[in-house]
Structure 1
Amino acid sequence: MATAAEARAKYDRIADRYEEIFFYVGDVGARLAAFAGPPPGARALDVGAGRGAVARALLARGCAVTAIDASPEMVARLAADHPELTARTMDAAAPDFPDATFDLVTAGFVVQVLDDPAAVLAQVRRMLVPGGTIALSLERQSVGRLSWLQELSVEFFSPGSPAEPAPEPSPGTGPMDAEGLDSLLTEAGFTGLAREEIEMPLPLDGPEALWEWLQPRGGTELVAALGERAGEFHARFLDGARTMGEDGGITLDFAATLHRAHRPG
C-alpha cells in the first residue's frame, strides 16, 4: 500500500486530469454529500479534497465549505475552479483548526491512503461540534474477473525471478475494507454508524480499450520498466483480455462504500 507521501506525489503529477483518470470520483462525491445530508449553511470541511468532487457538491447544497489537501497542485487548481470556498494545503493528520469548528467533515477516497487513519479520525472528532457528522467514501477493492491480470502482474512485476510470488502482506497491512473502517470509527468514539454500498461497473470495448484505459493510471510507467519484456507482457495482456471478453465481456467492476457517523452530543 502506498504511503501518504507517495500518494501526495502521485496526485501532484495528475492534478490536471485527476477526475478524468478516476472517472467515478465526481459521481461518488455527489452521492457522499447527499448521504451526509447537511442542511444549508452547515460549516463543512472536506479533507483530501482533490479537484473538488465532494466540495462542489457541498457548495451546491448551500454549505460553507473549507477544503484541504496535502497536494499543493490540487489545492491551487481547486481554489482557481471554486473561489467561493476556502482551499488550503494541509496535512490531514495535523489540521490547523480549533476544536468544534465544523458541523460536517467529509473525505472522499482518502482514508485508505492515510499513514495513520486512526490519528486523522481523532482529529476529525476534535474539529466537529457535538452532534456533528463525519462522512467518508471507501473504494471497495476486489480482483473479481480481473484475476488473470493480477496473476500476470505477479509474474512480471514481483521481486526476484519472474515466477517468484510477491511476499504476503503482514497482518493489518492489507487494503482497508468497510468493516475495518467502521471499526476505526467506533474506536475513535463515533456513534450512529450507517453504511451504503455503490456499484460502478465500466464496460470497455475490447482488449485494446482495456490496455488504453490502464496507461494513464500507472500502466505506462510499469510497462516501460519491463524493458525487453514489455512486448511479451503486452501480448499476454491482450490474450488475457481477449479471453475475458469472450467469457462475459470486459467490464471493470468498481465499487465503493459510504460511511456516516456522528460525534456524540
Structure 2
Amino acid sequence: MRYHSAMSSDPDKAAPATVPARKLLVTGGSRGIGAAIASLFAARGWQVALTYRERADTARAVVAEIEADGGTAAAFRVDVSDEAEIVALFDELDRAGFTPDAVVNNAGITGPRTALMDLDGGVLDRVLRTNIAGTMLIAREAAWRMARSRGGKGGAIVNISSTATRLGSPGQWVHYAASKAAVDMFTQGLARELAAEGIRVNAVSPGHTMTTADPAEQARIEARFEGERHSVPLGRIGKAEEVAEAVYWLADDAASYVTGALLPAAGGR
C-alpha cells in the first residue's frame, strides 16, 4: 500500500513536544465534509490523520493547509472497502505511536444516480463494501485500540450517515440510502456493545450539504436544490463546516454522556 504521510513511524523521531494530546482519524478526509472535519479538529488542537482513496493532490492540500495554520496532519492512501488496507493503515498508525482518541467514519460513496431496476450489481457491491463493511472494519480496528479491557483509554467513534435513511432516495440512490440505514443500526448496536469499554459511538446525518469550492459545481448543486428547498425548514443548503461542528461535539468531552445518538445536521429536513 502506498502512503503519503507527514507522520514519522519512528517513535524517536515523532513530532515535537507541542503535539496535541488528542488524536483524530477521519476517513475520506481529502475533500468536502471529511476535509472540513480534519481542518476543524486540527484548528482546535487535535493531531489529525486522514485517509483518501484517489485524490492524493487534494489530500496533500488539506494537510498543507493544516500545517500552514500550525497544526499537525498526515494523509494515508486507503481503500476502506479493502480489509487488508484497513489493517495496514492501523498497523502504520501503531508504528507511528498514533492511537486515535476519536475516529470518524466519513468515507462513503453513492454510485451513479439510478433506479433500482437499472442498478448494476458491481456498483451495489462497491457501495455496500465501502459504506457498510468499511465502516464496521474501521470501527473494529479502532475498538481494539481504544477498549479499556485491552489497555486502551476509551474514545469516540462518529459515523457519517445521511437523512436519506428516512426518505429512501427513490429513483436516485435507494441502494445508498439502504447502506446508510445499516450504518444507523450499526451505530446504535455498537454504542451499547462498547459502552463498558469507555467508547462512545454516535452518528451525524447530513442533509443537502455544499461539499465543493468549485463555482460551477456549486451552481449545479444549487440548481438541483431548488426543487427541494421547500422540504428544508431552514431553506438553504448546509455547509460542510456546519456538519463538522456536529461531529466535533459528539467526539469531544462535551458530549461525554451521549452515545447511540443519530444527530441530524440537515436544516430540519
TM-score (norm 1): 0.46
Q: Which has the higher strand share?
A: 1
Between structure 1 and structure 2, the one with the greater Rg is 1
